[in-house]
Structure 1
């Protein structure tokens, strides 16, 4: 089995590309999206699937990654689905949408592929229901926990008449270079520091306004 090829792109057509490998020009069938990413003269690596069927010339199909190739090869196990139909499915849906459609039992999604009618679409969903598993997405990183003292400071400042936006900015600016205080987590000391900073900032703003007047 030819699992992948690496070489220089010699030609890019509408449905195939020719890649020079070890002095041989290897013709690869691929989706329009895969072909659009190839450039004549550039080096390329493609995952591949070699298909040889009775009474048909053997063909080599190329893919951008293993996920595409996996869907392609599994779809070949569906009755009535040949390599060109499987490639057409990937061209229209892509591997993620194929997984999603199978998981949701969405036969209608496959009718968007030329040559696949409602009956064929239902057969694809039925036969692949236990063969294609929706790939797990990496969990989103958990948000950094808010330090308890910061929430207490914000609540205290809002209670003293500051709006939440200005209070949050004041906390960040007043304690930007006070790692020693932040590490202590001493709320009363932190509050006095922030209030002093806010008072100085407010006085400075007032003085600037008076000078401008």
Structure 2
């Protein structure tokens, strides 16, 4: 079972990303939102589920363990295959899925392409009582990550980088690392500085330009 892959993103097209792991390019199906967060040439960590069929091996990728957990739960519902489960995740976050199940809102699932009224109701019934852990972590994680990323952004701007460049570096660091690697300011700051590479902050570049005049 391949539960995650980490490597350089070789290509991203539509909802397919190719990630090089140990010299081998693995084709991973992801949601449109996830695909947009991946940068060709950058390293990425993707949680994965390997679906084995008689004539096919398919690897599906996820931003975090909550998405993966929801994917697995959805696949356990009669009539919901991997592609339909990915369709749900493309249209709804894990928190929204949990909320729809908790409020018995099958209409939310009927809006997903490929999910009919009968299957939508079955999703709500089948997942009832199974989403509490996902709801808790999904609500808590964005709050922690937002606070950490805001502090790192302030630190980078304070070091002399423009807010636009600093924000891009923080976004790329968040997209390419797992929760543990971005849970604290020092850890995320290191990753963001790695993204910035050898380029100099504006203040340093300006100072050098002034000294040359």
TM-score normalised by the chain length of structure 1: 0.62
Partner residue, 1:35: 35
1:119, distance to aligned residue in structure 2 (A): 1.2
Task: Please show how residues 56-71 of structure 1 align to structure 2 within 5 Å.
Answer: 56-71=55-70
2: CA distance, partners of 1:96 / 1:13:
27
Partner residue, 1:93: 92
1:130, distance to aligned residue in structure 2 (A): 2.7
1:39, distance to aligned residue in structure 2 (A): 0.9
2: CA distance, partners of 1:73 / 1:117:
19
> 1:56/1:111 Cα in 2 relative to 1: closer, same or farther (>3 Å)?
farther
1:28, distance to aligned residue in structure 2 (A): 0.3
2:53 is aligned with 1:49: no
1:89, distance to aligned residue in structure 2 (A): 0.1
2: CA distance, partners of 1:9 / 1:129:
37
1:132, distance to aligned residue in structure 2 (A): 2.0
Moved over 6 A (4+): none
Q: Which has the higher helix share?
A: 2
1: CA distance, partners of 2:19 / 2:51:
18
Partner residue, 1:165: none
> Structure 1, residues 106-145: CA drift from partner, whole Å, max 9, x if none?
000001100112111001101111322262345x9xxxxx
Aligned partner of residue 131 in structure 1, secondary structure: coil
1:56, distance to aligned residue in structure 2 (A): 4.2
> Structure 1, residues 42-68: CA drift from partner, whole Å, max 9, x if none?
111111111113x34111111111110
Determine which structure has more spread, i.e. the larger CA radius of gyration. Answer: 1
Partner residue, 1:199: none
8 A Cα contact 2:94 2:135, kept in partner: no
Gap runs ≥5 in structure 2: 144-213
2:26 is aligned with 1:26: yes
Q: Between Structure 1 and Structure 2, how many residues are aligned?
A: 138
Gap runs ≥5 in structure 1: 141-213
TM-score normalised by the chain length of structure 2: 0.62
Aligned partner of residue 135 in structure 2, secondary structure: coil
Task: Please show how residues 106-117 of structure 1 align to structure 2 within 5 Å.
Answer: 106-117=105-116
2: CA distance, partners of 1:129 / 1:56:
33
Partner residue, 2:124: 125
8 A Cα contact 2:104 2:124, kept in partner: yes
Task: Please show how residues 1-213 of structure 1 align to structure 2 within 5 Å.
Answer: 1-53=1-53, 55-133=54-132, 135-136=135-136, 137-138=139-140
